[in-house]
Structure 1
Amino acid sequence: MADPARITPPVEEVRVRRSGTWLALVGFLLISAMASGVWLLGHWEPQLFPVRIIAVEGELHHHSSRLLQETISERLSGGILTADLQDLRQAAEDLAWVGRATVRRVWPDRLQVEVEEHRPLARWNRDGLVTAEGIVFRPGTGTVPAGLPLLEGEDRRAPEVVKRYVQWRDDLMLIGHLIQSLSVDPRGAWRVELVMGVELYLGTEHVDQRLARYIASAAQLEAAGQPLVVDLRYSNGFAVKWAANAEPQARATTDRSKRSGKRG
């Protein structure tokens, strides 16, 4: 016959088991209460604390305040306490012309939206615009401003193209020339077209020095005739294609590339 002392669990062990059961029950009840509270908050909060006003601040030229208000309103879920500000900010920044947006709560029922629109420096390829920071955005047809220079290249090279454009624009303005277009092809070859109609081929190497060579010779070239293309892809000189009315003698004196080795 078994010893009863060995079968009956000690009092301390029974208390521990009961204590563990109560703790598990209390934990379950707390979790259930929290879940119910979250559900009730999500269900009733938009009605108890609704967003009644969406105020838009910022200098807007291409998007109206009404469009931004409608965009935020369509994306809004919840009231003033539970509105997802990060998601609302993203909704505003998804608009083509919006560069940066911030959204904040203003008690008791207002969302304050501050917006900065992109400021295009130039057109980018066929359908885009690019900012001075090299940010490419595509606002859609019919909304590209007229009169901007054209920059062309792969999107990933936009910051580099913008940097060169700004530098070369300032250098060329010193001799009275403006850039109409600037492009770099997939091989890395640079080409500049000036407003006066001259195309400059700079190649892939030493492009800053080659442009400086053109700038130093521009006055002499223009005095000699009307250049259409200046190919600077040579080690020490350049080749010139002249307009039909250019003087043959001037053409011969400036076509120094025939005596120079060609480079990329």
Structure 2
Amino acid sequence: MAVSLPPDVRVMNATAVAVLALSGCVLLAAGAAWVTRQPKFAIASIRLEGDVSRNSVATVRANATPKLAGNYFTLDLRNTRSAFEAVPWVRHAVVHRVWPNRLVVRLEEHRPAAVWKGDEGNDRLVNSFGEIFEANLGDVDDDRLPEFHGPEEEAAQMLAMYRRLVPLLGPLDATPVRISLSGRGSWDVELDTGAQLALGRGSDEEVLARTARFVRTVTQVAARQRRAWDHADLRHADGYALRLKGPVTPAANGATALN
């Protein structure tokens, strides 16, 4: 036959169990805190992997390490990643802990695709993802990068347009060196020949279709006039206007419209 304990005894027993459990938790927490403070868990080495062509390993460490705080257990990985991504030319960093006191950081560097021309001389760079980033332009060893000017939020679209224009203009033996996009969405292009193209507004497909029509016919049009051209206005719905070089003659009046 089971004996029922008085209520006050049951309360005392439950309280004793709770106190013991709480004491155990406190001891465990204190032990864990003591362990995490041990010098053996301080970050002793950082191994860098991935892209380090723009920065030496020593430079990356010198820029990022002073911003790190904590040991193997307490280091904030998000802040650590941000510290490495703040290093010039670093686009992305992935950080992993390695027991008991090491870090492995994989870096992805920006790959410059264009120069972003600022309104007040604040030139920056555009990477291969169409993102604008700060860097020393003197570190760029490719002096053939095109120049972009337009709304910053359209940098990716401008890079995409550039990549489509390069093969499209190939038959003219010309390459875009400057691309401008106005706030109203109008495109202007300067070629490495010095010629200017006013591509106008519209969807990318509409602009590219007008450009393709121009490329197919401009050589024949200019040949009939026996003069080279230095400016083309493609903003017309049914053709384009061409400004020709050299003196104006009755046979070649300096502008040709193609229907």
TM over 0.5: same fold? Answer: yes
SS of 1:248 mapped into structure 2 = coil
Which letter does structure 2 place at the counterpart of 1:115?
L
Q: Which moved more, 1:173-182 or 1:101-110?
A: 101-110
Indicate the residue corresponding to 2:257 in structure 1: 256
Q: CA deviation at 1:107?
A: 4.0
Which letter does structure 2 place at the counterpart of 1:21?
T
Structure-to-structure mapping, 1:45-194, within 5 angstroms: 47-126=39-118, 127-140=123-136, 142-145=138-141, 146-194=143-191
Q: Equivalents in 2 of 1:209, 1:130: separation in Å?
A: 26
Q: Structure 2 vs 1, CA of residues 250 and 60 (structure 1 numbering), >3 Å: closer, same or farther?
A: farther
The answer to whether structure 1 residue 32 and structure 2 residue 7 are counterparts is no
SS of 1:225 mapped into structure 2 = coil
Q: CA deviation at 1:144?
A: 4.8
Q: CA deviation at 1:178?
A: 0.5
Structure-to-structure mapping, 1:233-252, within 5 angstroms: 233-243=235-245, 245-249=246-250, 251-252=252-253
Q: Structure 2 vs 1, CA of residues 250 and 176 (structure 1 numbering), >3 Å: closer, same or farther?
A: farther
Q: Is the 8 A contact 1:96 1:139 kept in 2?
A: yes
Indicate the residue corresponding to 2:6 in structure 1: 12
Q: Equivalents in 2 of 1:248, 1:16: separation in Å?
A: 115
| Count, aligned residues | 246
Q: Structure 2 vs 1, CA of residues 37 and 71 (structure 1 numbering), >3 Å: closer, same or farther?
A: farther
CA RMSD of aligned residues (A): 2.6
Q: Structure 2 vs 1, CA of residues 253 and 51 (structure 1 numbering), >3 Å: closer, same or farther?
A: closer
Q: Is the 8 A contact 2:36 2:73 kept in 1?
A: no
Q: Structure 2 vs 1, CA of residues 58 and 50 (structure 1 numbering), >3 Å: closer, same or farther?
A: same
SS of 2:189 mapped into structure 1 = strand
Q: CA deviation at 1:195?
A: 0.7
Q: Structure 2 vs 1, CA of residues 78 and 253 (structure 1 numbering), >3 Å: closer, same or farther?
A: closer
Deviation string for 1:97-118 (max 9, x for gaps)? Answer: 1122222234454322221211
Q: Is the 8 A contact 2:40 2:100 kept in 1?
A: no
Q: Equivalents in 2 of 1:29, 1:71: separation in Å?
A: 44
Q: Is the 8 A contact 1:221 1:254 kept in 2?
A: no
Q: Is the 8 A contact 1:42 1:78 kept in 2?
A: no
SS of 1:60 mapped into structure 2 = coil
Which letter does structure 1 place at the counterpart of 2:237?
S
Indicate the residue corresponding to 2:217 in structure 1: 217
Which letter does structure 1 place at the counterpart of 2:233?
D
Q: Equivalents in 1 of 2:102, 2:76: separation in Å?
A: 14
SS of 1:28 mapped into structure 2 = helix
Indicate the residue corresponding to 1:6 in structure 2: none
Deviation string for 1:74-99 (max 9, x for gaps)? Answer: 13323334433333222111223112
SS of 1:230 mapped into structure 2 = strand
Indicate the residue corresponding to 1:7 in structure 2: none
| Greater C-alpha radius of gyration | 1
Deviation string for 1:176-221 (max 9, x for gaps)? Answer: 1100111211111111111111111111122112211221223135
Q: Which moved more, 1:15-24 or 1:146-155?
A: 15-24
Provide the identity percentage.
29
Name structure 1 gaps, 5 residues minimum. Answer: 1-9
TM-score by length of 1: 0.81
Q: Equivalents in 2 of 1:249, 1:16: separation in Å?
A: 116
